[in-house]
Chains A and B, each alone.
Chain A
Amino acid sequence: MSDAAARGDSMLKVRVIPCLDVKDGRVVKGVKFVDLRDAGDPVEAAKAYDAAGADELCFLDITASVEARSTLIDVVSRTAEQCFMPLTVGGGVRTVEDIRALLNAGADKVSINTAAVNRRDFVREAAEKFGEQCIVVAIDAKKVSAEGEPDRWEIFTHGGRNRTGIDAVEYAREVVALGAGEILLTSMDRDGTGEGFDLKLTRAISDAVTVPVIASGGVGTLDHLVDGIREGGASAVLAASIFHFGTFTIGAAKEALAQAGLPVRRGGGDSAETA
């Protein structure tokens, strides 16, 4: 059976999502694939991806201080004024007020991570207040089963340092039941390795929930993107460095997905004004 047939009667496209790490209002690694006046300006980077045909943008705020939140809000607001495309923002989201501020600034979806691990009910409160469609739960998972044992992954916090003892698949089911509209799944084993997604983890979570799953962590080649969709069962693929450093363009990623028989969006981007 072809992938198109496997997807049933649907013309929904698989999404390619570049993710920008933002600290104190600046892009941490910078976007190097085009000549930007300021490669560290998140708004400039967002405009470059808008023009390149990215299907969504993701900002991950890694700022430590609470004071810098207003800087992030300003970045989101300026991006939404110029790029008329979907924008997900995460990092340090702890309260309903944090979510409200980001949505009002122009974010379409807000991603919750540690706050949901600490208090599951936060997901329910957020979904009830703003609608399930804008609540993404970010899951950072690591394999904890030994060789030869059945696969098991647990939730880790603090950039993969703190093991929580919470089973990742169970947790995904739980947050979706509470109102998560999407799961952003990162394999902490693969993140930054370039070895590809943890496909078994992606498949296990994707099969366990009814909402879309974004696969993240480990992309090094375009085949990895294809695998994340076909074998992992993800609805979208997220990557950072391969795009920022210009290893691959968004267009090349779409081409690879299309070659594999997956539906992708072509054209229609470039919504930012070039004044």
Chain B
Amino acid sequence: MTPPAPVALIDYGSGNLHSAGKALERAAREGGSGKAVLVTADPDVVRRADRIVLPGVGAYADCRRGLDAVPGMVEALTEAVMERGRPFLGICVGLQLMATRGLEHGDTAGLGWIDGEVVKIEPADPTLKIPHMGWNSLDVARPHPLLAGIPTGEGGLDAYFVHSYHLNAARAGDVIATTSYGGAVTAMVGRDNLAGTQFHPEKSQRLGLALLANFLKWAP
């Protein structure tokens, strides 16, 4: 019997893979999917993976450069996700990289999977602090399998955010959830086999572990 194909957590030199890896392993254990989590910088592993997680911490342009610096990675990602429809989860800047482009410190091309630009959060109330840092509620725009069974909204579970930019999606239908911070801030996007969270599921305690477990059994 072949073991379940692994979950590829892409290592491209952008930040904290330890937490994301451990949270996925934990979600795999608790969710009963039994999937192995592989932290990898190998495009061949990504190509063969059952599903893919792209984390990302730091500045947009740095993350894009980091991804480009791994030979064959963008091609492998595009093949697995866009051609073969493997479930994909982008976290924080990993979500933002799905956009057409990012406008943090200049103009940087994204992967172009979700139409829209990554722009600075500009709260209507200028006394609101940037970065948007801490726990905030999710306002769900449309139900999504990744949020199945998770209480959201006011009185529900909160998610942990740390960011100054967000994806301003061109198509409202690509936005799964927003959060309220001097106006609506994009919290979660998705279409078909693509999903992304601006918040950090690996740091969002119960909400995050439940979302990751949902991702591991997601069959888009």
Contact = CB atoms under 8 A, between A and B. Distances in A.
Interface residues of A, number: 48
B162 A108 contact: yes
B165 to A, nearest CB: 10
B134 interface: yes
Interface string B178-215: 01111100000000000000001011111111000000
Interface residues of B, number: 48
Contact of B136 (A12, A82, A108, A271): A12
Given A133-B162, A235-B129, A270-B205, A77 B18 contact: yes
B131 A211 contact: yes
Contacts of B130: 210-211
B161 to A, nearest CB: 8
Interface string A68-101: 0000000001001110111000000000000000
A106 B163 contact: no
Main secondary structure of the interface of A (DSSP, over half): loop
Contact of A104 (B16, B124, B129, B136): B16
Instruction: Name which of B22, B62, B129 has the most chain A CB atoms within 10 A of its CB.
Output: B129
Contact of B128 (A8, A82, A107, A129): A8
Contact of B23 (A84, A86, A128): A84
Interface stretch (A28-36, A142-150, A164-172, A261-269): A261-269
B154 A212 contact: no
A132 interface: yes
19 contacts: A9-B124, A10-B128, A11-B136, A11-B154, A12-B128, A12-B134, A80-B18, A81-B18, A84-B204, A85-B160, A86-B200, A107-B16, A108-B162, A132-B131, A133-B57, A181-B133, A211-B129, A212-B134, A265-B135
Q: Give the 4 A-B CB pairs with smallest separation, nearest first.
A: A8-B125, A131-B58, A271-B205, A268-B157
Given A130-B57, A210-B130, 20 more contacts: A8-B123, A10-B125, A10-B181, A10-B182, A11-B181, A81-B22, A84-B23, A84-B26, A84-B209, A86-B203, A103-B16, A109-B162, A131-B59, A134-B57, A212-B131, A212-B133, A235-B129, A266-B155, A267-B157, A267-B206
Interface of A: 7-15, 50, 55, 77, 80-82, 84-86, 103-109, 128-134, 181-182, 210-213, 235-236, 265-271, 273
Interface of B: 15-19, 22-23, 26, 57-59, 62, 123-125, 127-137, 154-155, 157-158, 160, 162-164, 179-183, 200, 202-209
